[in-house]
Every structure is written in C-alpha cells, then in structure tokens.
C-alpha cells in the first residue's frame, strides 16, 4: 500500500514564545480568539532509512504511514524496526487586538525551537511560531469583521465575539500568532 510522505518537524517553546512575540510596551492587549487542534499518530516502525531520512509506521488499524524526518532529529539511527513511535502534532492560533500608541509597525517575525528530551529513548519537540502584526484600518460591527493592514496587504478577519469590537478603534494594533508543535517519543 502506497502512502504520501509526511514531514516531521519536532519543535516547541510555544506558549512563552507566543506571549513574548505579541507583547508591546505600554499597549493594552485584548484577546480576541484562540484555539488549538491536535492529532496523534502511533505505530510500529517497519522501515528505517537513515540515509533518506524516512520512517515507515504501521498503525494499529493496519495502515502504513511514511514519515520524512528532518535533519534536526539527531537520534534517527537509534530507532529500530519493531519500536513503537508516537507523534503528536498541535497547531495553535492566538489573535490579540492591541490598543495604544506603542503597538508598532506592521511586520512578521518567526521563531523555531527544538527541545530534545534527555534519556535512553529518542524524544523531543519542535515548535515553529509565526507572528504577524498590523493596524486596524476598518471595523464593521454589523458583520463582526475587522480589517487589518499587515506588512504587505489588507486582511479582513471575522471576529467570533462581536462585543470585542466595541473596545477597539481604527488605528489600534493587532497581533496574530500561529504555531505548530510536533512531539515524538519512541518506545523500545
């Protein structure tokens, strides 16, 4: 059975990174929305190709999953056929409206962090975080939307709680942070 290769990016220091990336001096931050989605893949290792950096897992349901392993994963050679591998991918989104004169210019910043777990088993987390900042250029309370001038274009976002728009105005800043965390652990 043929399956698509999936990238593995094991990384994380997310919560602190997102909070740190979205903070502004003397700016009041109003949370607008946040959410996270997690998926987990567990299976027995059936193929380890260190040279091509590929792993094949057989899930408990009998599916075969081929995983592309990035060079940041340092202990790939310690994973053996028959080991159980569990990978959890979590995607986070945090959107804040920021009031105040010191909110800053539109921009984009990114950060990647790798945390390797010490011990006998290969394990760790990779986090990739991206924060986009901009300025509110339009509000439509009837449609619950806010339009933001980002670093390159205007973006219109729907706000789940329209009462949030009562406390912001054109000219206020916005910060949207997205992060993906993938953790993996091997059981011998």
pLDDT, position 39: 94
pTM (global) more than 0.75: no
Determine what percent of the chain is predicted with pLDDT higher than 90: 36
123 close to 83: Cβ distance less than 8 angstroms: no
Counting the structural domains of the chain, the total is: 1
**Residues 149-170, mean pLDDT to the nearest whole number:** 79
- Segments forming the whole domain that contains residue 168: 5-187
Quote the Cα angle for 135-136-140, to 5°: 170
Higher-confidence position of 168 and 184: 184
Rounded to 10 degrees, what is the CA torsion of 11, 13, 15, 17? -110
């Amino acid at each position: 059975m043929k399956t698509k290769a999936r990238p593995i990016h094991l990384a994380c220091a997310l919560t602190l990174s997102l909070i740190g990336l979205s903070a502004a001096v003397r700016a009041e931050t109003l949370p607008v929305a946040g959410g996270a989605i997690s998926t987990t893949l567990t299976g027995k290792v059936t193929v380890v190709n260190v040279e091509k950096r590929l792993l094949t897992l057989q899930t408990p349901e009998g599916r075969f999953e081929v995983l592309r392993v990035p060079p940041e994963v340092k202990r790939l050679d310690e994973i053996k056929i028959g080991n159980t591998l569990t990978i959890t991918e979590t995607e986070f989104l945090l959107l804040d409206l920021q009031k105040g004169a010191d909110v800053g210019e539109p921009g984009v910043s990114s950060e990647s962090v790798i945390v390797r777990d010490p011990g006998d088993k290969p394990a760790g987390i990779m986090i990739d975080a991206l924060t986009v900042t901009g300025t509110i250029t339009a509000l439509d309370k009837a449609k619950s939307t806010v339009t933001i001038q980002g670093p390159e274009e205007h973006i219109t976002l729907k706000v789940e709680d329209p009462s949030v728009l009562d406390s912001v105005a054109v000219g206020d800043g916005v910060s949207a942070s997205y992060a993906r965390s993938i953790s993996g652990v091997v059981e011998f």
